[in-house]
Structure 1
Amino acid sequence: MTLAGASATAPDLLRLVAVPVFAWTAVRDVKTRRISSAVWIPLALLGAVALVWEGWLARQAGSLAWTYDFLLPAAIGLGFVVPIAYLFWWFGGFGGADAKALLVVALLFPTFPRYTVGSWTVPLTSTPIETFSFTILTNAVLVGLAIPIALAIRNAAAGRIAPVMFVGWPVRWDRTAETHGALLSTPTGLSRGGLDLDALRMYLRWRGLTLAALRADPDRYRDPATLPAEPNPPTDGAVAVGPNVRGVDEPDARSDGGADLDSTAAAAVGRDTDADVATSEADRTIDDPWGADAFLDDIDGTAYGTTPDELREGLEVLAAQEMVWISPGTPFLVPVFVGLVIALVYGDLLVSALL
């Protein structure tokens, strides 16, 4: 908002401090998909200070500036963007960091700023009701919609034509251990939703197992008798945390018939290994292949909504296939940051396209 002919108000200049922070969160969202809640607290405080400061300046400028230049756009931003962020988070459309980012955006950017850079004044365009946070949101949505198109073009140029070419790409099996997203390959083909790769890392760390070891002897690790007696902390599945391989081949591998094993598997662990006593692998019935039920029962939470069947299917794929399709998902803080930059420089993409 520009008052009394000024090129930029002090609150608008103060808000520019948030731009490099949003850039940092976008980079971190791509690399780790984890943003600490502590990042948003100072930004929210900054937004509250700038909001009160701008409101005071608008009040000093007169009733028209107070009502139409500040109160109306700020009310629309806080009354529209905030509920949208909350509802999308509630229904699972946004992660917690995405929702918090939009809440901060609504508080930080209630009105259109004006900045003079040489002979240029940005943003270059405006809207009928200058609610800047709504402009950032619509820009972010448009940028997010462009991502599937870019993926499809990339896959088509490489000759990778598949039903999921708009949402993912193929990678070698070993790349899944260091990639965020979801596994789209299934034992029967391709799916638009599959095993969350963070849940895969949680499972491997819980077992103290590497993906390479699992592929080297899948028949062995399908048997829940090979689960460790004392599972490792599963962590939250972030790539930054290295796998803990303790316990896979150590003497304390689960053999005590604990509650996480069914009675058949537990009894099998405790038997002698002589050929005349042990039941062959081919004849043994495994009620919990890969120990998927045991894993999900043991950990706190739901491993990002992963079901035992999804985990088993994902492990079957990764145990056998060299190339698998994955979807990186949408690290939404990237479109938010890009939408913010576009809004600061150009303005509202949606309004410009419609008018």
Structure 2
Amino acid sequence: MLDDRKLAVLRAIVEDYVSTNEPVGSKSLADRHNLGVSPATIRNDMATLEEQGYITQPHTSAGRVPTDKGYRLFVDRLSQVKPLSGAERRAIENFLGGAVDLDDVVTRTVRLLAQLTRQVAVVQYPSLTRSSVRHVELVRVAERRLMMVLITNTGRVEQRIIDVPENVSEESVAHLRAVLNGALDGCWLTDVPTTVADLPERLPSEERPVAATVLSVLLETLVDKHEEKIVFGGAANLAAADFSVGLREVLEALEEQVVLLRLLGETTAEPSALTVRIGSENPYSGLRGTSIVAAGYGSGDKELARLGVLGPTRMDYPVTMGAVRAVARYVGQILAAS
């Protein structure tokens, strides 16, 4: 266990290295920080920190830089999540509050996170498996063709054109629409197959073929959307970043939806709870020089999806963590109010 003084030295090393991108020496620590001890004592503390794997010396006669282990201790024990100012909070609320639909919310969130953190922002669309039905719209567009629109409580909209086996009247479409909404309003999408299993039996025999076709397409829509959609932005910020691995590997990882899903992490019981993966804690070797700060967002106490940022391990963790947490909370509030 490190004593308070060594923890203060480690905190100062992390802060200076993040700020300057230069190895940190004992003299500069003594000059920049009020540590209350001499440079010689700081050197002894730095030797202990290096021996225990929290810092390392990249070159002979150079200062020290934090290791993944050092960053982890900084995040877990030392740093405080930096709160956003009142002006920043109002700007976030106004920017996200101007969104017109779910796609706009996600697009604005990506842009906002990238701007606030100067990292790559990654946002997962609300999961269909954790959404419920708000409304099913059926519109007759031709004698044997319908348009189905499925709207969820999270703002997702899925649209399909359905070719039905026989001519269908406006009255039959209206009846089927009413039956569908009566059965599915508020139903979790995972429960839809069970809920609609006997629905054709509730209809007149002449309406059952069309109903069976519509239900088949509805269920196919849920299956097709099982893989969640990920959006990222701010890749240009990588040009100013420093990575211990190549930029090419980072860009390739960003193109893989499955990789991004795993990086954002598993859902938790508490929306907005932060998770931080640092360097070697990441499951992909091509991302061992990066850190991911992520949080869930949701409606009420239910997490719907996750968002976060990816950048080099040399990132400003308190600022990044504060921005991710704040944006996740605002997105959740917007979806709850929609």
Smaller-chain TM-score bracket:
under 0.3
TM-score normalised by L of structure 2: 0.25
Instruction: State the structure with bigger RCO (CA 8 A, min sep 6), 1 or 2.
Output: 1
TM-score normalised by L of structure 1: 0.25
Q: Which has more strand, going by share of residues? A: 2
